[in-house]
Amino acid sequence: MRHQVCIIGGGPSGLLLSLLLRRAGIDAVVLERRSRSYVLSRIRAGVLEQGLCDILREAGVGARMDAEGFVHDGTIITAHGTTVHIDFKKLTGKSVMIYGQTEVTHDLYDALDRIDAPIFHEAEDVAIHDANGDAPYVTFTHDGKNQRIECDYIAGCDGFHGVSRRSIPDAVRREFEHVYPFGWLGILSETPPVTDELVYSGHERGFALCSMRNANLSRHYLQVPLTDQPEDWSDEAFWAELKLRLPPHLAEVLVTGPSIEKSIAPLRSFISEPMSWGRIFLAGDAAHIVPPTGAKGLNLAASDVYYLSRALISHFGGDGQPLRDYSATALARVWKASRFSWSMTRMLHEFPSEGDFLAKMQAAEVDYLAHSPAAQTALAENYVGLPY
C-alpha cells in the first residue's frame, strides 16, 4: 500500500489531521491500535479553546458542537477564602466552548466516514522504518495479516505511550519532565452542574474542580494521592470530600448522584524535543503532556495539528519551509501552554512536602489575582488560548 501521509494513532490529533489533509486533497491513512468503540468510550477533556472550535468549523465538523456545546465567557477560581470571577469575554474578547473530547472524536469519525477515509482499527505491532531516509514505511498487523505502508511522511499522533516518539534516536531527542506528587480522581454523573461556570477550587484538603458536559451531566475532579485507586472511593465518599473542598455557598447547592464513570489520572508535565526528525512529525500527547489544570491537553494537540496540516499542505504545494519549521513553531506554543498549566497547578494544589511557605505564596497569588485586572487578563488570555 502507498499513501502520502501515514498517521499513527486515531485519537483527536490523528483523526483531525487526517480530515484536514484529505480535505486538501492529500492522501492520508490512520493506524489505530484500539477499536473504534474503545476510542469513543474514553472520557477525557471538555474545554475547547476558540482556536480549536474554529479549526473544527473549518474542517466541516463544527455544526453539532455549535448546536449542543456551551459557550463559557468566564470561570470561577476560589482558594484560601478568596473567590475570583475571571471574565474571559470582558478581558480578552474570547470565550471557550464546553464540548467533550468524546463528542469531538465522534464528529471526526462521522466526517471521515462520509469521505471514506481509510482507518485501520486494531492495528497491532505498528513499527516505523527508515524515518530518516527518503522512503519511509510503516509495518503492522491487521486481521492477522502483515501489512506495509509506504509513504512520504509519518505523523506520530499516538499519544504518550505510542511508538512514534521513541523512533527518534536517543541522541537526537531531549525530554523534559516534571511529575507531580498526586493525581486527579474524576467522576461523571447525571447531575446538574453546581453553577453555570467551571469552578477551580484550591483547598487545604486538596484541589477540586467542578466541570460539566451539559445541563444534566457533570464532571468533577479531586486531587488524590498517587497511591489511591478509583475503587477506594465510593460515590458517597467522593461527594462528601468535594463538598468539603468547595466554598459553602456552592457546597450547599451541589446536587449528588451515582457516578457513571470513575478514574484516576496522574499529573505530569512532559515535553520531548524536537517534534520532528527526518520524515516523522509528532503531534499532541505523543510529544507533550500537561497537567490537566487549565484544560490545555486537547487544545495543544489541536494547535500542533493546525501547524502540521498547514505545513504538509504547503509542502505538497511546493513550499517546504513551514514543514522544516514545524518543530520550532509548535514547540514555542507548547512551552507557553505548559508553563500556564504548571503555574495553575502550582497555584491551586496541595504539595504536602512543601509546607507553609508555598501555602502563603498561593494565598498571595490568589489575592493578587482578585485585585489585579492585569493578573486576571494574563490568566484569561492563557485560558482561552494563545494565538496560533
Residues that bind ligand DHB (CB under 6 A): 45-47, 198, 209, 211, 219, 292-295
330 part of the interface to ligand FAD, by CB under 6 A: no
Q: What is the DSSP string of 309-374?
A: HHHHHHHHTT--HHHHHHHHHHHHHHHHHHHHHHHHHHHHS--GGGHHHHHHHHHHHHHHHHH-HH
d(CA 345, CA 358): 12
**Strands 217-224 and 208-214, sheet pairing:** antiparallel
Using DSSP bridges, classify how beta strands 28-31 and 288-289 pair: parallel, antiparallel or unpaired. Answer: unpaired
Residue among 8 and 367 whose Cβ is closer to ligand FAD: 8
- Taking CB under 6 A as the criterion, the residue among 11, 69, 74, 278 binding ligand FAD is 11
Residue 31, interface with ligand FAD (CB under 6 A)? yes
Q: Tell me: does residue 284 bind ligand FAD (CB under 6 A).
A: yes
| Catalytic residue of the set 109, 200, 221, 326 | 200
Q: How far is CA 299 from the centre of its chain?
A: 5
8 Å CB contact between 242 and 199 = no
- The question of whether 145 is a catalytic residue gets the answer no
SS3 376: helix
CB 164, min distance to ligand DHB, A:
24
3-state secondary structure of 183: strand
Q: Kindly state whether residue 296 participates in binding ligand FAD, applying the rule CB under 6 A.
A: yes
* Contact mark string toward ligand FAD, 343..362, x via CB under 6 A: --------------------
291 φ, ψ (degrees, to nearest 5): -65, 150
Report the nearest approach of ligand FAD to the CB of residue 123 (Å): 6
Give the one entry of ligand DHB, ligand FAD, none that residue 293 binds, where binding means its C-beta sits below a cut-off of 5 to 8 angstroms depending on kind: ligand DHB
Partner whose binding site includes residue 269, from ligand FAD, ligand DHB, none (CB under 5 to 8 Å by kind): none
Least separation, in Å, of the C-beta of 212 and ligand DHB?
7
Q: CA-to-CA distance for 362 and 270, rounded, in angstroms?
A: 23
* Nearer CB in complex with ligand FAD: 39/222: 39
Report the nearest approach of ligand DHB to the CB of residue 181 (Å). 18
Question: Cα angle at 115 between 299 and 46, to 5 degrees?
Answer: 20
265 or 372: CB nearest ligand FAD: 265
Name which of ligand FAD, ligand DHB, none residue 33 binds, using a CB cut-off of 5 to 8 Å depending on partner kind: ligand FAD
> Is 72 considered catalytic here?
yes
Residue 162 within binding range of ligand FAD, rule CB under 6 A: yes
The helix (run of H) or strand (run of E) holding residue 189 is: strand 174-189
Closest-CA residue to 203 (of 31, 82, 332, 369):
82
Among 6, 10, 59, 337, binds ligand FAD (CB under 6 A): 10
Contacts of 248 (CB under 8 A, 6+ apart): none
Q: Segment contacting ligand FAD (CB under 6 A): 4-12, 57-65, 145-153, 377-385?
A: 4-12
Q: Which three cell numbers stand for residue 78?
A: 476560589
Q: Can you give the binding site for ligand FAD, defined by CB under 6 A?
A: 8-14, 31-34, 39, 44-45, 101, 123, 126, 157-159, 161-163, 265, 284-285, 292, 295-298, 301
Question: Which residues are catalytic, by number?
Answer: 72, 200, 292, 296, 383
